[in-house]
Structure 1
Amino acid sequence: MKPLLALSLLCLLLAPLQAKTHVQIAEENSAAIVAVNVLKKDGTTFTGTGFVVTDDGVIATSRHVVDNALYINVTFNTGAVSGAAFPLALGGSVDLAIIKIGAKNLPTVTLGNSDYVLPGQEITVIGNPRRLQNTVSSGLISQVRRKADGVIWHQISAPISPSSSGSPVFDEDGNVISVAFSSYKGEGNQNLNFSVPSNYLVTLLAQHNYHPPVAGPHAAEQNAPQGLWQKFCAHTAKAWQMVKRPFQHSH
């Protein structure tokens, strides 16, 4: 066995990780999930999902939710409705957008580092399918897909329905690692859904001078006081993730 693999396995055995349950993730994050209500320029209406990333009202969603918007506001899970929201930025090569409402001290999600996402890991999604607000679903990262243009998508098995575009996809630590935006429809297709990795969102936010904290994999363990051995394990596990990740991406 290669030394790096052996050390990584030893660290994992000596420091087991405790994942959060879907219930815990929902309880901790539901207040930060919103319905994004849009009046389009052609007079039609559209509803998507968004999530609060800064406590002063910056909200992430899908770009197609707010495209051609004449007016936008958001509804919180308490039933409270915001004033007008305005777009801050639209993703270029990915289906992402950030919007802003006037607010203070809002509950927020924690963004994760999507570089560590691997096929097979469990996820929790909170969204508003068919306008059923704060619906919790679960599934897996089915695959990490790299398109011909180099853009990465996450294929996910959690159900995604209309009005769920913009839903946050949480990892087992309760960090947002992806943003749901699309499904393959048609007879015979089952749970073929896609999301945008969270690091694209982190980049979009940074381009507009917003820098919310980003949690690493298993942040609770990494942020706790550590001795030399724990620090060595954390760095070794990170190195092993980086080594094996290219071999598990689908091209």
Structure 2
Amino acid sequence: MKKILGITVLAAFIGGAAAIGGYKLFERNQTGSTITDKQNLYFANNPLKVSSAGTADFTQAAAAVAPGVVHIKTTYAAQSGGGRSSSPFDMMEDFFGGGGRQMQRMPRAASGSGVIISQDGYIVTNNHVVENAEKVEVVLTDRRKVEAKIIGRDPNTDLALIKVNATGLPVVKMGNSDNVQVGEWVLAVGFPLDLNTTVTAGIVSAKNRSIGIIGREQQGNEITEEEYREYQRTGKRPDRPANTSIESFIQTDAAINPGNSGGALVNANGELVGINSAIASQSGYNQGYGFAIPVNLARKIVDDFMKYGSVKRGYIGVNFVPLSGEEKPEGIKTNEISGLYVSDVVVGGGAAAAGIKAGDVIKKVDGVVINDSPDLQERVGRLNPGDKVKLTVLRDGALKDYTVTLKGEASVGLTAKNTAGKGMEVSKLGATFAPATQAQKAKYGINSGVVVTSVTTGKAFDNIGVEKGLIITKVNGQPVNSVADVQKALPLGRNNMVSISGVSEQGSYNYSFPAQ
């Protein structure tokens, strides 16, 4: 009997040791893993205990989420207009710390919200909350103040990932935004108007909303009727930046005010379904129209930041016109009132390789019916170059499925490619460019120009205050209309300096900085 008991105890000990060892191995493997892995590990040991049954009672959901929503305070250098002054005296102040004429500049400050998504300090927020900030400070719910590091920013989705040096933090569980239904209860949690943690309730008013707030200076691949008619007449594609912004908001009437940006939109189970981003209001305060970025899109952006430090985005390679019951632009030969009419296929893109043609109507993505551009953009925005997506296309009255392999930015001409040679490469400017449109040139009365489509933190353009949306007209005195023109002009600077001329709605700009 004692022998049997001894064997039983030994077996139990071995089993327990194996379980502990397996857990520790699993825990170690989480270093550098995806945010989904981190969340699964956390909630395996900290199950979310929330019930949404019965009457509308959100006390459990609010209690579960509030500790994981933080207050973000940002500090900015004082500057006027859309960037720094191009005065030579300001340049001397930048490089040599100023002189007798330097005036004291008071830093500016702003605030927003953020959501803790891992116990080791990763926090998701809005890009516009931390963009251009010199210092990012996070106030935790236990009132600790910790400085945060920006891991990555994506202006195209208005998302950013920051990290604080802390462990054992409360975590908000990510849900599934695909399961969100119009009419269901949701909570908005954040720090509106600099108030302490605030929870408001409402319902989901709509899904897949596009309100044109992200990347307004970009003209997307959703072409206008005027551009389509011009394309039909000349056969020339619109000469403008491809659409890289993604808007497919969850709309809610839960009260969202300034300061809520970057906070949590959660369902009645206490699960994160969106990152609060914008309001539509004539007064600047809540009027019942709030918008949140779906968490399924945010998950992909966060994972890319954690793995690569930047977003790896895949593209189908088409230009399209959303269909509706209204009068269609001339040249669109279809009676369909829903779907996306393919006006043009990018040469060398994934759609062209799969056999999709101009005149096709995209009706479904991976079996899900699409009615407007946000339906397509948000689903494809979750994927990476090399991923496959099934498009159901209407052609000649029949539906047919095409499998498209998504391609990277180079396939649609979004990223400036580096070239060997003397002088500074485009990558060292810390910026990407796209040709300015004829409409933009006419607006500003210029004959040349490339639009700054992105600026990398810590690189040359960021350091001198050049912002996304600026139209660069000349580099080292040479007119530029393409990335190639920029590359050719860079080595032509004098005294190892680079000079940039540009224009925006704020006025004309001239920059000069040392070549590297």
Q: Which residue among 168, 183, 192 is the counterpart of 2:289?
A: 192
- 1:32-85: per-residue Cα shift (whole Å, max 9, x none)? 111001001332101100110010100011110001110011111221111x21
Unmatched segments (≥5 aa) in structure 1? 1-16, 211-241
| Residues 205 and 251 in structure 2, CA contact (< 8 A), matched pair in contact too | yes
Matched, 1:52 2:111: no
Partner of 1:75: 139
Secondary structure at 2:134 match in 1:
strand
Aligned to 1:101: 164
User: What is the alpha-carbon root mean square deviation over aligned residues?
Assistant: 2.8
Please give the per-residue CA displacement for 1:160-214, whole angstroms capped at 9, x wherever unaligned.
111110110001221100011111121698211111101121001211347xxxx
Q: Superposed, which structure 2 residues align to 1:133-212 within 5 Å?
A: 133-147=196-210, 151-186=247-282, 190-209=287-306
The match for 1:66 is 130
Question: How far does the alpha carbon of each residue in 1:86-125 deviate from its partner, in whole angstroms, 9 at most, with x for none?
Answer: 1111124211111001011111000111111221111011
TM (norm. structure 1) is 0.73
Change (3 A) 1:92 1:248: closer
| SS across alignment from 2:117 | strand
Q: Which amino acid aligns with 1:67?
A: E
Structure 1 residue 26: deviation in Å? 1.2
Structure-1 separation of matches of 2:286 and 2:115: 28
Q: What SS does structure 2 have at the residue aligned with 1:74?
A: strand
Long gaps (5+) in structure 2: 1-51, 79-106, 211-221, 223-242, 308-365, 376-516
Shift in CA distance, 58/76, structure 1 to aligned 2, threshold 3 Å: same
Q: Does 1:91 align with 2:188?
A: no
Q: Is the 8 A contact 2:74 2:134 kept in 1?
A: yes
Give the letter for the 2:62 counterpart: A
SS at match of 2:161: strand
1:185 is paired with a residue of what secondary structure?
coil
Give 4+ residue runs of structure 1 displaced > 6 Å after superposition. Answer: 242-245, 247-251
SS state of the match for residue 208, structure 1? helix
The 1:202–1:96 alpha-carbon spacing in structure 2 relative to 1, beyond 3 Å, is same
TM, length-normalised to structure 2:
0.37
Contact 1:143 1:250 in 2 (8 A): no
Higher relative contact order (CA 8 A, sep 6+): 1
Q: 1:118 touches 1:248 (CA, 8 Å); kept in 2?
A: no
Amino acid at match of 1:201: A
For residue 207 of structure 1, give the secondary structure of its aligned residue in structure 2.
helix
How many residues are aligned here? Answer: 204
Alpha-carbon shift at residue 250 of structure 1 (Å): 8.5
Query: Quick check: 1:165–1:181 contact (8 Å CA) kept in 2?
Result: yes
**Equivalents in 2 of 1:71, 1:86: separation in Å?**
9
AA partner of residue 58 (structure 1): Y
Tell me which of 107, 110, 115 is aligned to 2:173.
Answer: 110
Distance in 2 of aligned mates of 1:58 and 1:189:
29
Determine helix, strand or coil for the equivalent of 1:130. Answer: helix
Match of 1:119 among 159, 182, 185: 182
> Given that residues 144 and 250 in structure 1 are in contact (C-alpha distance below 8 angstroms), is that contact kept between their aligned partners in structure 2?
no
Asked if the contact 2:253–2:290 (Cα under 8 Å) also holds between the matched residues in 1, the reply is: yes
Q: Secondary structure at the match of 1:25?
A: helix
How far is 1:247 from its partner?
7.7
Give the equivalent residue in structure 1 for 2:213.
none
Q: Corresponding residue for 1:18?
A: 53
Secondary structure, counterpart of 2:62 in structure 1:
helix
| Cα deviation code 1:214-235 (max 9, x no counterpart) | xxxxxxxxxxxxxxxxxxxxxx
Q: Aligned equivalents of 1:200 and 1:55: distance in 2?
A: 21
Matched residue SS, 1:174: coil
Identity %: 25
CA spacing shift, 1:142–1:105, aligned 2, 3 Å? same
Could you tell me which residue of structure 1 aligns to residue 195 of structure 2?
132
Distance 1:169 1:243 in 2: 27
Say whether the 8 Å CA contact 2:74–2:135 is kept in structure 1: yes
- State the alpha-carbon separation in 1 of the partners of residues 368 and 132 from structure 2: 42
The one-letter code of the counterpart of 1:18 is A
